[in-house]
Structure 1
Amino acid sequence: MPIQKVTRDEILQKALGVFKRQGYHRTTMDDLARACGLLKGSFYYYFDSKETLMKEVLWWVNRTSEQRIFSVAYQHELPPDERLGLFLDRLYAAVLVSEGGCIMGNTVLETAMITDEFKEPMLVFFTNWTNAVAHIYETAYPTAQALKLAQQLAAEIEGSLLLVKLGSPESLLRDCRERAINRLNVPMHDCTSNP
């Protein structure tokens, strides 16, 4: 196989696809090198271990999600329902663009009970995710309730992604989107009820 010149970002993108499809533990350095068009020895020039690469992939996902997805929540020129719809559309596009689903959710399930090595980037991701959605929900709910609704939405979406991976229809995700946006329509005086 010819050796290609690749950038670190290209390696991170290609490694992300491999980790999403195969999981962290089933992925070998040979798999990663092959996906990037590199010889295994050349791969070590960029990353000294699979663990180092995985951490960088998770931090890269954080950075790109902040720029492309989470930032939408703070675009106050858009109405809250449009911000939330756009946020979820971009999130779904990111997790459904390639086989495997959500790298963060997958990695939590695969590694959280085994090692703390990847917890920080995953915690940062889900904290930023829920804070962004809570920021939108704060237009209709008190801060504590907005955060609770955002956390519930994250759990609902991650659960739906698991079911979709098992063969359930992607309409589960559309239903989550619809319910999330409908929650914004609850008037402030009704916010004590369970939406």
Structure 2
Amino acid sequence: MRKVIEKTDLVDIAAKLFRMKGYSATSIDDIARAAGLTKGSLYHHFAGKEAIAAAALEQVHQYYRDEIFAIVREADDPGVAQLEAFNLAVERFFTDHPHGCLLANMSLEIGGSFDLFSQQIRRFFEEWQDCYMTVFSRFFSAAEARNRAADAVAIVQGCILMNRIWHNIHPLRRQHGALVESCRAVAAVA
């Protein structure tokens, strides 16, 4: 009897393996075995590892769009409350996914040389940065908001990397708190 697995579940399994082992060290056999499928069954869904990885990157990105980026994007006038909710959602995601950010991990592993992945990865981080910029532009000039947004993504991703290494989410929480406090400090003066 053939095992039936949803395509999204297969992508989740592959994403977890890519986070844990890396893209290069994860084989089609690893993914098929973890999903309880034959390689042939896996190829029924995807042309190869590159296609599975592209789907995994997109699935994570879509989750962020729907569950995290939407916190800021769908707010009428996003401010400190939305930033706090956004931060909490990010912390929850990385508490549930302690092997780090799939997009950052793959970017570090393959560098900017793989066009398909680099475009997907760039779009993800641009959207993340845009969310910060949307909130920060309420409190800072456009140029300052843009710089703070770029810095925030870099700092937060560093904390996510450290969480992967040390299994400690507290540096991420401290940095998130600092982002919120910087906005509150400006609001208190205004």
The TM-score with structure 1 as length reference comes to 0.89
Runs of 4+ in 1 over 6 A off after TM superposition: 188-191
1:6-41 alpha-carbon deviations (Å, 9 max, x no partner): 121111112111111111000000111112221111
Partner residue in 2 for 1:60: 59
Partner residue in 1 for 2:145: 146
Partner residue in 1 for 2:179: 180
Whose helix proportion is higher, 1 or 2? 2
Q: Is the 8 A contact 1:3 1:39 kept in 2?
A: no
Measured in 2, the distance between the counterparts of 1:102 and 1:154 equals: 12
Partner residue in 2 for 1:36: 35
Partner residue in 1 for 2:106: 107
Measured in 2, the distance between the counterparts of 1:109 and 1:14 equals: 21
The answer for unaligned runs of 5 or more in structure 1 is none
Identity %: 23
Measured in 2, the distance between the counterparts of 1:36 and 1:56 equals: 16
Cα deviation for residue 170 of structure 1 reads 2.0
Q: Is the 8 A contact 2:98 2:163 kept in 1?
A: no
Cα deviation for residue 79 of structure 1 reads 5.8
SS of equivalent residue, structure 1 residue 166: helix
Partner residue in 2 for 1:133: 132
Q: Number of residues paired by the alignment?
A: 190
- Greater alpha carbon shift after TM alignment, 49-58 vs 156-165: 156-165
Superposed CA RMSD in Å reads 2.1
The answer for unaligned runs of 5 or more in structure 2 is none
Measured in 2, the distance between the counterparts of 1:52 and 1:111 equals: 15
Measured in 1, the distance between the counterparts of 2:172 and 2:161 equals: 11
1:59-86 alpha-carbon deviations (Å, 9 max, x no partner): 1111111010001013435761110111
Q: What amino acid maps onto 1:81 in structure 2? A: V
Cα deviation for residue 141 of structure 1 reads 1.1
